[in-house]
Amino acid sequence: MINWQHWHNEPHLVGGLVVLAWLYAIATGPLRARLAPRGTPFPRGAAVAFYGALTLFYLAVGSPLDQLGERFLFSAHMVQHLILTHLVAILFLKGLPGWLVDAPRLHPWLAGPLRLLVHPVIAALIYTLTLGIWHVPALYDLALQDRWVHIGEHLSFFASALLMWWPVFSPSKRFAPLAPAAQMLYLIAVTIVGTPLFAFLAFSSEVLYPTYEYAPRIIPGFSAAQDQLLGAAIMKLGTMAVTFLVLIRCFYVWYSTSEKKQP
């Protein structure tokens, strides 16, 4: 059965998060005078968002939720993925000051590929394909059985989510976000493109992943098929909920901008 007191403290997880936190503190603290325009204050709001993203990342993959989703419940795994691809990714981007992102001088051979990766069509395609490929039963179950493959799965989810959210939450002037109206169309398109994966999980006539099919039922009467349907609903409804909130934000920015332009 699940051990609710089991928290991951592996060096690659805790150490990686500590290094990111340290690098951020150095860049926004002692190095701010070199990287940011003169007189730029410490970005308190951005720092809260960034460290919040690191905290949520650890809670998603380091708390007992990881064990619950890895061994027992598909729906718990979907909650984990939703946290990584939506909450953590958005907070991470909101935590990056624009001057920090634009500070490095990029050579043209590097700027070109980066610009291509954050292009809305390419970013959405990479994100959708990443989710779809990892949910192929054989590959998904392999990730559940092999720790390092599982780590690779989570990192690829997070990285592709950063690309997907970039056209909306980009802090950069060099790789700027879309206009608010275009952001709304983009988010609706991403939601529609992700529907086939939801349908694949929700309307399958069989349990797709053996790990969950033969796992001990920690909730009496809650079958693996019901768990799979709930996981699909969490994926779709959770995504729609976050998207709806972001759409409200986009509309508000769009309306405010239009009002300021009125004579």
**DSSP state letters, 77-101:** HHHHHHIIIIIIHHHHHHTS-HHHH
Q: How far is CA 73 from the centre of its chain?
A: 20
What is the structure's pLDDT at 67?
A: 86
CB 1 within 8 A of CB 218: yes
Q: Residue 180: pLDDT above 80?
A: yes
Parent domain of 25? 11-261
In a domain, 174, yes or no: yes
What is the structure's pLDDT at 173?
A: 87
Q: Residue 145: pLDDT above 80?
A: yes
144-to-68, 77, 86, 130, 150 alpha-carbon distances in Å: 11, 10, 21, 16, 6
Mean pLDDT value across residues 127-150? 92
200-to-40, 132, 195, 256 alpha-carbon distances in Å: 49, 10, 9, 40
In a domain, 205, yes or no: yes
Confidence of residue 227 (pLDDT cuts 50, 70, 90): very high
CB 161 within 8 A of CB 89: yes
What is the structure's pLDDT at 37?
A: 86
262: left (phi over 0), alpha (psi -120 to 50) or beta: beta
Q: Residue 2: pLDDT above 80?
A: no
CB 159 within 8 A of CB 166: no
Neighbours of 241 (CB within 10 A): 12
In a domain, 129, yes or no: yes
Q: Over the stretch 60-99, which tens digit does the pLDDT of each residue have?
A: 998 888 888 888 899 999 999 999 999 999 999 999 999 8
In a domain, 4, yes or no: no
CA distance 150 to 5: 21
In a domain, 5, yes or no: no
Q: Over the stretch 211-221, which tens digit does the pLDDT of each residue have?
A: 888 888 888 88
Confidence of residue 13 (pLDDT cuts 50, 70, 90): confident
DSSP class of residue 146 equals -
CB 101 within 8 A of CB 43: no
Mean pLDDT of the chain: 89
Q: Over the stretch 235-248, which tens digit does the pLDDT of each residue have?
A: 999 999 999 999 99
In a domain, 2, yes or no: no
Give the lowest-confidence range in 106-120, 154-168, 173-187, 217-231: 106-120
pTM exceeds 0.75 for this model: yes
CB 117 within 8 A of CB 126: yes
CA distance 96 to 170: 9
In a domain, 1, yes or no: no
CB 56 within 8 A of CB 91: yes
Count: domains in the chain: 1
The pLDDT > 70 percentage for the chain reads 95
Q: Residue 168: pLDDT above 90?
A: yes
